[in-house]
Structure 1
Amino acid sequence: MSKGNILIVDDNKSVLTALEFLLSTEFEKVECISNPNRIPSELEKAHYDLVLLDMNFKTGANTGNEGIFWLKEIKTKYPDISVVMITAYGDVELAVKALKTGATDFVLKPWDNSKLMATVKTAVQLSQSREEVSTLKQKEKDLKSSLNENRKHITGTSPQLMHVLNLVRKVAKTDTNILITGENGTGKELIAQEIHRLSNRHNEMLVGVDMGAISETLFESELFGHVKGAFTDAKENRAGKFEIANHGTLFLDEIGNLPLHLQAKLLAVLQNREVIRVGSNQAIPVDIRLICATNRNLPALVKEGLFREDLLYRINTIHIEVPPLRERGEDVLVLADFFLKKYTSKYGKPQLKINHQAQEKLLKYNWPGNIRELEHAIEKAVILGESNVLKPDDFFLKPVTGSTAGITNSNTLNLEKMEKQLIISALDKYPGNITAAAEELGITRQTLYNKMKKFNI
């Protein structure tokens, strides 16, 4: 017996009896009514996959207006339900009108049992397919909403962070490509999430891809998808990240780690806005908003021949640089308090506080690992802390290493070589902190950047 519930509406008792007898052997529920005014209450009372609906109900009527009226009523309130019209032989034009109004099919009186059964089964399957699609769409909508709600929030009030967020607000509503740069652990992914949240695509997916984690052999399959049989393990068709992100945002993290020969394939997709699955020749259009991120110096990589200049121009319409934590001042304490609340709740230590001396230690530390390092330091201190107050000794921070000492012992007197050695030593002393290194050298941050490019540092 096929799954499916059918409602039959006809004023002819013999028609109802015949249809009920025929269909009840194949379907779980067959309900018959002779008065069309009962249609709304029946559809509210039970779930139906199909309504078999007569075209005329009044004696002598043959216009089909009543059938068309009730067809419209059903499709307006229950668009997924299939409606098959029952009409007298010779009223084909009327049946065509019903199809244009939204009917799935029509049956002519007198009917052929086998043809009628085939029509009914097809209509029931169509209705069930529509319902499945509607359910999947709702689940997808709920998932997208849940993912967006569970995004981590950006925390901090420093002028440096406010500058970044102001730029984010300006560009979010556009579809322009954005490149986010910054050191490891500064929160580049959070900035990408914020751009997506404020964009016109916020109801669609933000799909993230770690370009450094994808093996070269699976690059095309992961990003562009593949068809069944394209290679040994391709046991079914699979959409790539570009297709999954269609109408949404695609976030390519660690774009600077992408090998040169794969950059050309990525560039082609970005230029043409279409992908071709591995093993297929069919181009699939994609509509995405592209955000890329890296902690590497892409212009320097271009000079070294390790990154395509045309790809850099393609992804770098708007550049957002996320400041390192050490340049965000009091944000260190704001973030420390945020992570403290998170982990005291997680580990059941709600009374735990950070004393003033420990706060001073956190403010003075260089944070080479940025926010990620701060979070780990707070979590570790919460776990290992033995009292309700976290003191300086509860935070295990890496000692700052490196020194300019010994530069004068160099055997060279070449000014350029000595200058390069001094820059390298300053960068070693302040790992990842360009501002501090520039101050140590007595030059501006931009000058230091220019010299780093000059010496390929």
Structure 2
Amino acid sequence: MAKQGTILVVDDNKAVLNALEMLLAGVFREVITIRTPNQIEATLESGRVDVVLLDMNFSAGINTGNEGLYWLSRIKGYAAEIPVVLFTAYADIDLAVRAVKEGATDFVVKPWDNAKLVATLLAAYRLHESRREVKQLKAKEEVLKGQLSPERTVVWGESDAMCRVRQLIEKVAVTDANVLITGENGTGKEIVAREIHALSGRKGEVMISVDMGAITETLFESELFGHVKGAFTDAREDRVGKFEAANKGTLFLDEIGNLSYALQSKLLATLQSRKVIRVGSNKPVDVNIRLICATNSDLPRMVKEGTFREDLLYRINTIHVEVPPLRERGNDILLLAEAFLRDYGRKYRKPDLSFSSETRQRLLGYSWPGNVRELQHTVEKAVIMCDRQVLTPEDFLFKSEPGEIAPLETLEDMEREMIRKALVRHEGNLSAVASRLGITRQTLYNKMKKFNL
């Protein structure tokens, strides 16, 4: 029989502790023994304990069992999910019933029967594992809330560039290789990631998406690795991190190029060991994930500049998928525009909409700096505003001539254009752009998300 987790045995009798340590060493991976209950909470802080075997009496001449009940309540207040089996030399049925009502998992009478004691403790351990699995499933459900949009058939297009991307996706998806997806903002990198997951052997599990640019440094470890109750001021309960929530599934780290150098080291250590340690704990937890990352940054250039770890790039870049910009996909622009037109026509109860021939030409002629995301939002806005079944160029905002931008009508339009020009001028270097515009990098990132840049 494979050894199980960690058990904490609390008893003031040294001979009893020695006997139990010898017996349980063949059952549990780790047996921790302490003679005074005052050390219980300090021991639980390690995060390693899966089961507690607790004596009922510790003071000489006192055999009421009240000490055991007191420490039972203390354990439950500190770590309610850990099963506690009470241990006493006094077979008091009323005391046993009271202990179970107050949270004990079971009750064992001294002198004990080895087989029965082991069976009781293993049952308590399995209970703990079941609780952990239920908690992780609930955590996965919470993480997924709001992430999943209504299913829509993915329109890949017929261009040579996208056919090559599609073929690479199908070849890579059946493996567990780490994938790095690159491409300009708005090209559909997350859609590619979801397709890889949907075609993989992990499709029956969850895919957890994490926007690395939106996580502050102070919350990075808690968000990705989780934390235990009491790890910091607001840690009121144990929390499963994104790595654990994605266990057996796929973890998608978007905008990984925005991760600071210091945090890159912590991420690399976890990817190498495939273990996470929650904040406030020192107990490693195995994680089995398929890793997909995405970025619009030039990571090889960042490696040369010393802002991105070369070893991390090697770790995440087993397979590289480059998503081409929309302007290089030819007639795919019309295929996507037609799909968006059908979707938003249904959504806004405007069926049978179509594009005029002039509109189709203008759609093909526009450079789409915001790529597929810009096309999607442009079509949605046109559907909302149109009063006719046939959409004309007047329903859209286009470049009227090469190099000329249609008049900017609002402050938001002006702000968006200013940020867009700065991004082009500084070749996507967010730190340089933020400095030039006089705003923080986080503010710039938020505005880019707002304006779909």
Q: State the TM bucket, normalised to the shorter chain.
A: 0.5 to 0.7
Residue in structure 2 matched with residue 332 of structure 1 by the alignment: 333
**Equivalent residue, structure 2, for 1:309:** 310
State the match for 1:221 in structure 2.
222
Equivalent positions of 1:346-365 (< 5 A) are: 346-365=347-366
CA distance in 2 between counterparts of 1:388 and 1:180 reads 38
Higher RCO structure, 1 or 2 (CA under 8 Å, sep 6+): 2
- What's 1:244 paired with? 245
SS of the equivalent of 1:209 reads: strand
Structure 2 distance, partners of 1:251, 1:176, is 13
Q: What is the count of residue pairs matched by the alignment?
A: 298
Superposition pairs for residues 98-113 of structure 1, below 5 Å? Answer: none
After superposition, the C-alpha distances for 1:64-112 in whole angstroms (9 at most, x for unaligned) are xxxxxxxxxxxxxxxxxxxxxxxxxxxxxxxxxxxxxxxxxxxxxxxx9
Cα shift at 1:250:
0.5
Q: Which residue in the other structure is 2:390 paired with?
A: 389
- What are the Cα deviations for residues 239-276 of structure 1, in whole angstroms up to 9, with x where unaligned? 11111111111000000000111101110001111111
Quote the offset at 1:153 in angstroms.
Answer: 3.5
Letter of the 2:246 counterpart? A
**CA distance change for structure 1 residues 294 and 401 in 2, over 3 Å: closer, same or farther?**
farther
Instruction: State how far apart, in whole Å, the 2-side matches of 1:323 and 1:310 are.
Output: 26
Structure 1: which 5+ runs fail to align?
A: 1-111, 404-424, 433-457
Partner of 1:154: 154
* Structure 2 equivalent of residue 59 of structure 1: none
Paired with 1:222 and 1:136, the residues of 2 have a C-alpha distance of 16
8 Å CA contact retained: 2:186, 2:371: yes
**One-letter code of the match for 1:253?**
D
State the distance in 2 between where 1:160 and 1:311 align: 28
Structure 2: runs of 5 or more not aligned: 1-91, 107-122, 405-420, 429-453
Tell me, yes or no, if the aligned pair for 1:377 and 1:397 is still in contact at 8 Å: no
- Contact 1:152 1:190 survives alignment (8 Å): no
Letter in 1 for 2:154: I
Of structures 1 and 2, the larger Rg is shown by 1
**Cα distance per residue 1:396-450 (max 9 Å; x no partner):** 12567759xxxxxxxxxxxxxxxxxxxxx9x969x99xxxxxxxxxxxxxxxxxx
User: Take 1:147 and 1:267, find their aligned partners in 2: how far apart are those partners?
Assistant: 26
**Structure 1 residue ranges (4+ consecutive) displaced by more than 4 angstroms after TM superposition:** 112-123, 125-144, 146-152, 398-403
Separation in 1, partners of 2:127, 2:424: 66
Task: With the length of structure 2 as denominator, give the TM-score of the two structures.
Answer: 0.58
For 2:94 and 2:424, the matched residues in 1 are separated by 84
Question: SS at the partner of 2:213?
Answer: coil
The equivalent residue for 2:193 is 192
Deviation at 1:131, TM superposition (A): 11
One-letter amino acid of the structure 1 residue matched with residue 225 of structure 2: F
| Cα displacement string for residues 211-263 of structure 1 (whole angstroms, at most 9, x for unaligned residues) | 00001111111111111111111111111111111111100000000011110
C-alpha spacing 1:336/1:232, structure 2 compared with 1 (3 Å):
same
Instruction: State the match for 2:184 in structure 1.
Output: 183
Contact 1:252 1:291 in 2 (8 A): yes
Change (3 A) 1:253 1:398: farther
Aligned counterparts of 2:400 and 2:251: Cα–Cα separation in 1 = 38
Query: Residue type of the partner of 1:317?
Result: T
How far apart are the structure 2 equivalents of 1:193 and 1:209? 13
Cα deviation for residue 136 of structure 1 reads 8.5
Alpha-carbon RMSD: 3.8
Quote how far apart the aligned CAs of 1:351 are: 3.0
Contact 2:222 2:241 in 1 (8 A): yes
Question: In structure 2, how many angstroms separate the alpha carbons of the residues matched to 1:339 and 1:382?
Answer: 10
Q: Distance in 2 between matches of 1:138 and 1:284?
A: 16
In 1: Cα distance, 2:359 partner to 2:424 partner? 26
1:120 Cα deviation after fit: 11
Q: Paired residue for 2:278?
A: 277
CA gap 1:345/1:373 in 2 versus in 1, 3 angstroms: same
**2:39 corresponding residue in structure 1:** none
Q: Is 2:202 the counterpart of 1:201?
A: yes
1:135-160: CA deviation from partner (whole Å, max 9, x where unpaired): 9899899998x988945542022221
